Amino acid sequence: MRPFLRLAQGVIDLLEWSGKLIAAGTLSVLFVALLTNVILRYGAGKGIPWAYEIHAILLPWLVAGGIVIATARSRNIAITLLPELAGDRVRRAFMLFVEAAIIVISISVLWSSQPILRASTFQTLSTLGVKAIWGYSSMVYSFGAMAIIAALDIVLLLGGKSVMDDDPAHASLS
């Protein structure tokens, strides 16, 4: 691979790693908080009040981490029949179109979500005292990462590399 293509793949790998770190961290904190809360509720008759709100911040981040991992691995929900039936040139052109569409959609979502993000800076979770923007900012991470990965996939496609997940083990239907 040429150095620039290696760099593009490295950035995609770094984003995938960040998604894994976020997903593992949020899942761990959610599990420990909920398990502790259950034990305290049944053992002492009273739980941790913030354990009821923590999911409002961490669950969106868990989903965002999973989205970034799936995007980096080209394993989003997709119907790949058309590109699989097409020749290499048509497949490459089709994948360029799909990646460009992902960029447009991701940027559109980020742009249209600005009012929600601004409004969430004024919302505070009552028990935690944390601003709701901390949960909503996961949307910026996930859609921003999707746009970056799609742009880098275009670079890889133009450099001659396939970005489709060709592993038959990942297909749901044979």
At 61-98, the pLDDT tens digits run 999 999 999 999 887 766 667 777 777 888 888 889 98
Average of pLDDT values for 37-59? 88
Q: What is the pLDDT of residue 122?
A: 93
Q: What is the pLDDT of residue 173?
A: 42
Average of pLDDT values for 110-129? 92
Average of pLDDT values for 127-155? 93
At 143-158, the pLDDT tens digits run 999 999 999 999 998 8
pLDDT score of 101 more than 60? yes
pTM for this prediction: 0.82
3-state secondary structure of 131: strand
Q: What is the pLDDT of residue 167?
A: 58
Ramachandran sector of residue 132 (left: φ over 0; alpha: ψ -120 to 50; beta: rest)? alpha
Q: Tally Cβ neighbours within 10 Å of residue 11.
A: 16
Average of pLDDT values for 51-55? 86
* Mean pLDDT rounded to a whole number for the chain: 87
Distance CA 77, CA 68 (A): 13
Distance CA 44, CA 17 (A): 39
